[in-house]
Structure 1
Amino acid sequence: MFKPMASIFTNHQIAGHYRAIDRAKKCIVPFHFEIQGQEYPEPAKETNWLRRLSGTHSEKHAVVELTPSKVVLWSPEQRNLGEMQLSEIKLIQIGAIRWHASAGIDPRHAFRATIFVVTDAGNYYFANSDMDVLPAIFKFAHTHNIPVEDPLHLIPLLKVGWHVAAKTLHETYHQLVEHTGYPDSKV
């Protein structure tokens, strides 16, 4: 079971700089994911009309792109930070961490998806604000014969959709993480 450090970088600009790969080996780093053309979370609509016409975006994020042959890490400035062949991946573990522990918060916003990638060269720890990325990664990994661990049993729970599953996860999170190494409190 993985036991990453609990600290999380909240600024995507920090996560996207040239040492993002080194940071992703030491602690959970937020990245957007792009899986076969679908981005998680879905990009916000551009409000600046000039940028809309030109096709550029105000918000830029670091991205993990999963292609049929490799994994590519992109900086917010669209610089290639590194690539890894899919054949180098030994295992992917999917999970969730409690982001906010406030009782009054909407349970859909209380968690972040975690994606831990295990290779011979080291482990990489990613977070994503869209829980719908987990079934997409599970499907992608299954298609490419990459083993997936789901210690919190999220895939069956997410089949009903995140809006319905969030309340159940919020109520049962303490029992789910009890012997997994995931932190029970917010990070």
Structure 2
Amino acid sequence: MFKPMASVFTNHQIAGHYRAIERAQKCVVPFHFEIQGQEYPKPKPERNWLRRLSGTSSEKYAMVELTPTKVVLWSPEGRNLGEMPLSAVRRIQIGAIRCHVTEGLDPRHAFRATIFVLTDSGNYYFANSDMEVLPAICKFAHEHQVPVEDPLRLIPLLKVGWRVAAVTLHETYAQLVAHTGYPADKV
């Protein structure tokens, strides 16, 4: 019988918000990332002039914040859902999943970055629409001595830029994911 592992995140909010953490332990959940002040994907400029003047945003999304000492999950409303010390992270695995397979679609929009955070007490699965988050996570992890796995060998591919890398990834995705556990079809 499947029994979910205990979470490493300390819960700061009511029990209902804890479901975001539970969901991230069971399936890939879309989250924006903030790594040392840089957001992935970059926020779109606010179109509403009143919100621009007040400094607020109409678009709200869940966020994973990586700091030198901890990992924090934020709700779309800006509430702290939970946090864990960075030292609890044993390994990070980065990858990509194909989410759209349509002829004529720009390959840059056909993939989502995947970030799997592995800890002793559970694993957390995140997706992000900005593939540039992967090199940023690798750099952050290297600076803080967190091991990174790259089973699809994306980091060397992303060094040439996402515009060029997307075409190569689109053409070779089936070969790259063979024997890795990543789905070869779109999800």
TM-score by length of 1: 0.91
d(CA) in 1 for partners of 2:146 and 2:131?
A: 20
Residue 46 (structure 1) aligns with: 46
The residue correspondences of 1:132-151 to structure 2 (distance < 5 A) are: 132-151=132-151
- What is the CA distance between 1:164 and its match in structure 2? 1.0
Q: Where in structure 1 do 4 or more consecutive aligned residues deviate above 4 Å?
A: none
Residue 102 (structure 2) aligns with: 102
Say yes or no: does 1:92 pair with 2:119. no
d(CA) in 2 for partners of 1:56 and 1:130?
A: 22
d(CA) in 2 for partners of 1:156 and 1:68?
A: 25
d(CA) in 2 for partners of 1:17 and 1:104?
A: 40
- What is the CA distance between 1:179 and its match in structure 2? 0.7
Residue 186 (structure 1) aligns with: 186
- What is the CA distance between 1:17 and its match in structure 2? 4.7
**Counterpart residue type for residue 125 of structure 1:** Y
Say yes or no: does 1:26 pair with 2:16. no
Residue 174 (structure 1) aligns with: 174
TM-score by length of 2: 0.91
**Counterpart residue type for residue 38 of structure 2:** Q
d(CA) in 1 for partners of 2:129 and 2:104?
A: 19
Residue 63 (structure 1) aligns with: 63
SS of alignment partner, residue 78 of structure 1? coil
SS of alignment partner, residue 19 of structure 1? helix
Gaps of 5+ in 1: 1-15
RMSD, aligned α-carbons: 1.0
- What is the CA distance between 1:121 and its match in structure 2? 1.2
**Counterpart residue type for residue 135 of structure 2:** P
d(CA) in 2 for partners of 1:92 and 1:68?
A: 15
Q: Which structure: larger Rg?
A: 2
